[in-house]
Amino acid sequence: MLNKFKTLNVLPRWIIVMIDLTIFSLAALIGYLLRLNFQIDELYEFDFLRGIAIYTISGLIASLLTRSFAGIIRYTGIQDTLRVLYANLVSLLIVFAINYLSENALPYSVALIAFLVSLVISISYRLLVKELFAFYRTVPKSQRKILIMGAGRSGMITKQLLDNDTRSNVKVVGFLEDNPRKIGNVIGGVRIFSAKDEFEKVVIKHNPTELILAATKLSLERKNDLVDRCLEFGIKVTSVPSADQWIGGEFDINQIKEVKIEDLLGRNAIVLKNKFISKQLNDKCILITGAAGSIGSEIVRQVVRYSPAKVILLDQSETGLFEIENEIRGLKKMGEDLISFVADITNTNRLKECFSRFRPQVIFHAAAYKHVPMMELNVPEAVCCNVLGTRNLADLSVEFDVEKFVMISTDKAVNPTSVMGATKRAAEVYVQSLNEFLVSIDSGSTKFITTRFGNVLGSNGSVIPIFKKQIQAGGPITVTHPEITRYFMTIPEACSLVLEAATMGDGGEIFVFDMGKSVKIVDLARRMIQLSGLVEGKDIDIVFTGLRPGEKLYEELLDDNENNLATHNPKIMIAQTRKLDFKMVKECLDRLDELATFSEGYAFSDVEIVRVLKSMLTEYKSKASKFESLD
């Protein structure tokens, strides 16, 4: 019998119509029998065959009008039930009309009884078929038992989808809830348990293999707590996307995804004052450098929401530019006012062409080399891009009267221990001292603003994608040091800070972000192993490789000599940094330009370049690097 159900896809509609007509005929006969107290001899006195024919034909007309046959019986739901009700009501009205026109062709009492009988049988057989399909498709296989966290709208829709999905073989054994008003109730035959007090009891009783997070307002701390408890019992954790991410406004079972480490590290997003950001960006020409990168591309996504007049995407990666441009055009945003401009920020002439053609009013500067060990080995390129490239953009911003220049820096610029961190700090110093110099001579209108970020989740070259690849390859996972820690934020969160800085900044500020708690990288690796369903030491190992050149054990948000000033946003502060004389900074950058720029086949040594950086940045102390001898 199971094979018959498997090979039968959907019943032809004419068969459903025939079944419904049989039910109408049977209901009319039952109506006569009940009306006559089962006195069969009296049936012929009422011309019952004519009455049955009238009721059946009325049912056929009603079915065609209401399309009660259109639903797939195995997926019968409220809409299908309502269609059956409408069909029976229409059928009854047609019978009443015939009775009115042809002098009691079918007694009213028989018609009413037949209506009730046909309604009950039509709905009952549909529900019976639905249950039979649900039963027979799971008979030979053991069911996966599932818990759903959240008994709200998303949770109920998730259960309905799982119940109706013929491809999966799952059974929802319970809902978990934190809301005491819902605990103890039953939804669709499934009880709601307390997530805090009854979790262990439910797990021991039902032995679920998966927990689906369907609660829409679950805090990050609560989510982490639930995941930890599930990992204790070897339960897989998946989640339902928020309603605004449902495809076409509808939720599909394929959108249930495994919980990723990024979901557990992110924090509540900054609440932005959108009207102020809109005022800053609306109808403006915006230039975004590094637009093909992870940070730059997210800035593009957020900026276009505020209806700028023109957005210029600048990067030296033509493939990355092509991808972000196609993505934005796919959203039908900007049209011809979205322009990709392939350029290297170290090429002053190419940059000048961009500025003269488009006259940008606001610049978001995200272009930079960011890989610490790589830049330790490629000092001239780090200086040319991170320092001299920033100088090129800053000087052109003054020349072309740019309103705001927002530079994206890093927490590695604080007490730098690497070439990369030092070059980003040197860039910070230049734009800040330039701003001070312009204010002192009352010249120029460009406001220079800096923002410092920690590590962003999922960015190119970050630790999480590396760990994922190592896990997929079977390990080992490599961690540089058992005590190394880092701060993390999501890319959208980081870019929200950029937009907030553009709104708040009045020139010369360095904005730092309340990054929350730092995370031990080894703990991060262990969590990712658990989320992958593996066991450390058995399925995969963690190996410590030693600190890389220039790498810190701990990242810092402020220099030893810096203090914070609060802003109206409690998560954003202004660093009170040491001010440097612009003339001295300019001389150092001119010397770096001379040393780092290749000419006539000759280049100065890395040591000479780093020596100049250290003379300008007294806080720059190398670690695990060949440049330690200069300190």
Helix or strand holding residue 226 (H, E): helix 220-232
CB 148 within 8 A of CB 175: yes
Q: Which amino acid is at 487?
A: Y
Nearest by Cα to 310 from 367, 363, 358: 358
What does the pLDDT read at residue 504?
Answer: 84
d(CA 460, CA 323): 15
Please provide residue 418's backbone torsions phi and psi, each rounded to the nearest 5 degrees: -135, 165
Task: Name residue, tokens 């010249």.
Answer: 443
Ranges of residues in the chain whose predicted pLDDT is under 50? 1-9, 139-140, 247-249, 600-601
CB 619 within 8 A of CB 415: yes
What does the pLDDT read at residue 560?
Answer: 52
Concatenate the DSSP letters of all residues of 98-135 into one string.
Answer: HHHHTTSSS-HHHHHHHHHHHHHHHHHHHHHHHHHHHH
> Which pTM value belongs to this model?
0.68
d(CA 39, CA 42): 6
d(CA 72, CA 85): 16
Show the CA angle centred on residue 268, arms to residues 267 and 272, nearest 5°: 130
Taking the alpha carbons of 380, 381, 386, 390 in that order, is the dihedral positive or negative?
A: positive
Query: CA 235 → CA 223, 258, 321, 375, 534, distances in Å?
Result: 14, 12, 41, 42, 12
- Cis ω before 476 (30° cut-off from 0): yes
Taking the alpha carbons of 485, 550, 432, 342 in that order, is the dihedral positive or negative?
A: negative
What does the pLDDT read at residue 123?
Answer: 77
Please provide residue 407's backbone torsions phi and psi, each rounded to the nearest 5 degrees: -100, 135
What does the pLDDT read at residue 1?
Answer: 36
Nearest by Cα to 312 from 271, 340, 352: 340
Q: Quick check: helix, strand or coil at residue 489?
A: strand
* Domains identified in the chain and CATH numbers: 2-136 (no CATH), 144-259 (3.40.50.720), 274-616 (3.40.50.720)
